[in-house]
Structure 1
Amino acid sequence: MLNALLLPLMFSMVGGTYVYRRLPERRAHGLLILILFQLVGAAGYVMKPTLELLMLLTLHASAVLVMLVRHLQSPAPVTQESSNRPQRG
């Protein structure tokens, strides 16, 4: 089971970090996808529990938790609505 989940979980951590750092408007969707990858890994662990898979899932969960907490602590991005706002002056 570790062989089947190693590359997808590692890819999700790298891809999730890229989305988190480079695309702030898509952070929420990226974190949701990371959580879904974690659930798939947990299902694999239920099917065949091994210590290596548990360590991989713990590493993945730690990365997701750090990104999620930092996302929740950051201020919301400001959107500009210039077409609906009347001009001053």
Structure 2
Amino acid sequence: MLNALLLPLMFSMAGGTYVYLQLPDRRAQGLLILTLFQLVGAVGYVMEPTLNLFMLLSLHASVVLVLLVRHLQAPAPVQQPGEPRR
């Protein structure tokens, strides 16, 4: 199971960090996708619990947690008068 989940989880961490840093308007979608990858990994861990997979999921969960907390603590953008709502 570790072999099946290693590359997708590593890619999701790298891609999620890129989306978070470079595309601020898509942060919410990126964080949702990271959370869904975490759930897929958790299902894999339930099917075949190993220490290596647990460590990988712990690393992935810590990246998701840090990005989510930073996103929730970021101030909301201020809308300028006369600017259409997004």
Q: TM-score, normalised by structure 2?
A: 0.91
Indicate the RMSD between aligned Cα atoms, in angstroms.
Answer: 1.4
Tell me which residue corresponds to 1:27: 27
Tell me which residue corresponds to 1:45: 45
Deviation of 1:30 after TM superposition, in Å, equals 0.3
The alignment covers a number of residue pairs equal to: 84
CA distance in 1, matches of 2:52, 2:65: 20
Tell me which residue corresponds to 2:63: 63
Q: Which runs of 4+ in 1 moved over 3 A?
A: 78-84
Tell me which residue corresponds to 1:5: 5
Q: Go from structure 1 to structure 2 and tell me whether the alpha carbon gap of 1:28 and 1:50 turns closer, same or farther (over 3 Å shift).
A: same
SS for the counterpart of 1:64 is helix
Deviation of 1:76 after TM superposition, in Å, equals 1.4
